[in-house]
Structure 1
Amino acid sequence: MSEEAERDFEEQLRELLAEDAYTIRPAPVPYPQIRRRGVAERRRRVVVAGAVLVTLAAVPVGAFAVGGAGTGTADTATTPTASASARPTPTPSPTPTGPAGPATAGQLRDGITRAQAVDGLDKCLALQRRNIAQGAHGSDPGEAADYRIILALKSTGDSNSPGDGVFVVAVQDKPREIRLICNIKDGEASGYNFSGGSDRQPDSPPVLADINANKLYQQSFIDKGNWRLPFSWGFIGTVEPNVAEVTVSYGGADREAVLDHGWFVASGTLTTQVTRNPHVKGYDKGGKLIYDSDQDTTYQQELP
């Protein structure tokens, strides 16, 4: 092809792009890549160069190449094709996996399966969306697949909230920090506690109990001293990266908490009436005690 013909081709190509590119796709056109592809085609056959012009007028901007080589943003938009009616082979969608599970099997207590925990989480999120649609304060909590389940255990009814059920605790790290405690009774979501953002402050201790962890380890204060036993309890909070071990003592029993992606999770079965909140300790990798709730003036020692 002569130099004059090559210049004519480039001028036509520029005009086509100027007329159509922004009506199809508002992103900037990768002209250098397109030009290299056009040059490669012209070196093959003049006829193919004409076909490129026809294709540009007929299909989306993403389908620039006809047998061309090289890479660029145009490649990622659509599968290259020489016909507007041709359909690219669809890519199979990944199998939905739902929310991530806990770090250990023991975080699903009392015979609760992961499927049951996921079902409960789904129902609580649906309840929250309905409440928001009806004017309740809050923002869309997202889908179950956005969360990670860190604890599931039996919930014991009391005089304030009769009826046994199941607690499911799930967290989300991105795009925002969320902690959700939901309660399922008779197969339906009966309530939830939603916390957006971290409880941590610049002066927070390395081990920090969740502000609503008491919902998992105590029955109604109305029934203080007369709780229904045995009672499955749970305890959650966050830890800083230097924390290697957390222990929780409750009702005279010691439990080593699971460290699960920045959270600590402890659980057990209470068989005696208690008057004090769980006692929490944290240790670094060398075994040094770096946190003791008994020494934490911000931690409530006594049950209300």
Structure 2
Amino acid sequence: MAGAVLASLVAVPAGAYALAGGEGERDAQIAAPNPSDGARRTSAAPTPGPMRPATHGQLLDGITFAQASDGLEKCLTAERGAPSAPLGEAKDYRIVLAAESASGSVTGDSFHVVGVREHPAGMRVVCDIEDGEASGFSTGTSADDPPDAGPVVPDLNSEGLFQPSTADKGSWKLPFRWAVVGTVEPSVAEVSVSYGDATRQAVLDHGWFVASGVLDRQVTTAPHIKGYDSAGKLLYDSDQDKSWARMLP
């Protein structure tokens, strides 16, 4: 993880109300619009935020879209001073996943959010929120993909989504929320991810795949990912991908 990140809307009523008179008196008058009012009364345009995921099921563990958006904004704000990546603004991103942090137990006080954008190609950020504050940040683009990458490319730098931190690897906190994300080419119609005893069909969201689940036991084998075309033909198998480690470290 490289480092650690919506805005409030101000609504101005269409008419102005005046209060006048002595105690207990209230004189409400709706001011008719006129040119001079325009100089005094301006409505702040809503600040655009990130786009929603393709399905509600990508917002997990009770995390709302508003919470995920706020978390992404916090991380981007905290990291914007770093010149290592053209982060952009929250409105440039689509949130594809929000889930309880894989580095902690299922308590609801910490979570991560994954935001993606088209420019640079395959740009994604994984952002950790701990007790309302940005605490971790990781970025990646398609430029980081292996030169022989296939039609499905798991995000090699987001292992924190499906395994605990180094300090907890010897004793996982269960139940354990996991997730896997990556990019897919248009030829891919279905992606399945097997982890532990379960196999999940991933959501395909604007060129990305997202799969998640909950483990009730500690595992040593990494998620097994397969991609198929619309006819059911196998296009990708992570067991054949030299860049994807089959065993957890």
Q: 1:125 aligns with which of 76, 90, 110?
A: 76
* 2:80 pairs with 1:153: no
Encode CA deviations 1:260-295: one digit per residue, 9 max, x unaligned. Answer: 111100011111110010011111010111111122
Aligned to 1:114: 65
Instruction: Report if the CA contact (8 A) 1:239-1:264 is conserved.
Output: yes
Q: Aligned residues, how many?
A: 206
Deviation for aligned residue 1:93:
8.2
Q: 1:203 aligns with which of 130, 148, 159?
A: 148
Deviation for aligned residue 1:157:
3.8
Instruction: Report if the CA contact (8 A) 1:232-1:267 is conserved.
Output: yes
Q: 1:238 aligns with which of 183, 198, 204?
A: 183
Q: Can you give the 5+ residue segments of structure 2 that lack an aligned partner in the other structure? A: 1-37
Instruction: Report if the CA contact (8 A) 1:235-1:267 is conserved.
Output: yes
Deviation for aligned residue 1:225:
4.3
Instruction: Report if the CA contact (8 A) 1:120-1:189 is conserved.
Output: yes
Instruction: Report if the CA contact (8 A) 1:236-1:266 is conserved.
Output: yes
Q: Can you give the 5+ residue segments of structure 1 that lack an aligned partner in the other structure? A: 1-86
Deviation for aligned residue 1:198:
3.8
Deviation for aligned residue 1:110:
0.3
Paired residue type of 1:286: A
Aligned to 2:56: 105
Matches within 5 A, 1:65-144: 95-129=46-80, 132=81, 136-144=82-90
The structure with the larger Rg is 1
Distance 2:66 2:136 in 1: 19
Aligned-partner SS, 1:299: coil
Paired residue type of 1:234: A
Aligned-partner SS, 1:219: coil
Superposition misfits of 4+ residues, deviation over 6 angstroms:
none
Percent identity, aligned pairs only, is 56
Larger helix percent:
1
CA RMSD of aligned residues (A): 2.4
Paired residue type of 2:51: A
Structure number with the bigger relative contact order (C-alpha 8 A, sep ≥ 6) is 2
Deviates more, 1:107-116 or 1:291-300: 291-300
Instruction: Report if the CA contact (8 A) 1:225-1:274 is conserved.
Output: no
Instruction: Report if the CA contact (8 A) 2:102-2:162 is conserved.
Output: no
TM-score (norm. length: structure 1): 0.63
Deviation for aligned residue 1:191:
1.5
Encode CA deviations 1:42-95: one digit per residue, 9 max, x unaligned. Answer: xxxxxxxxxxxxxxxxxxxxxxxxxxxxxxxxxxxxxxxxxxxxx9xxxx9864
Deviation for aligned residue 1:220:
2.3
Aligned to 2:115: 170
Change (3 A) 1:218 1:198: same
Q: 2:136 aligns with which of 175, 187, 191?
A: 191
Deviates more, 1:213-222 or 1:185-194: 213-222
Instruction: Report if the CA contact (8 A) 1:247-1:280 is conserved.
Output: yes
Distance 1:139 1:264 in 2: 23
Instruction: Report if the CA contact (8 A) 2:195-2:224 is conserved.
Output: yes
TM-score (norm. length: structure 2): 0.76
Q: 1:219 aligns with which of 160, 164, 175?
A: 164
Q: 1:278 aligns with which of 223, 226, 230?
A: 223
Distance 1:175 1:292 in 2: 26
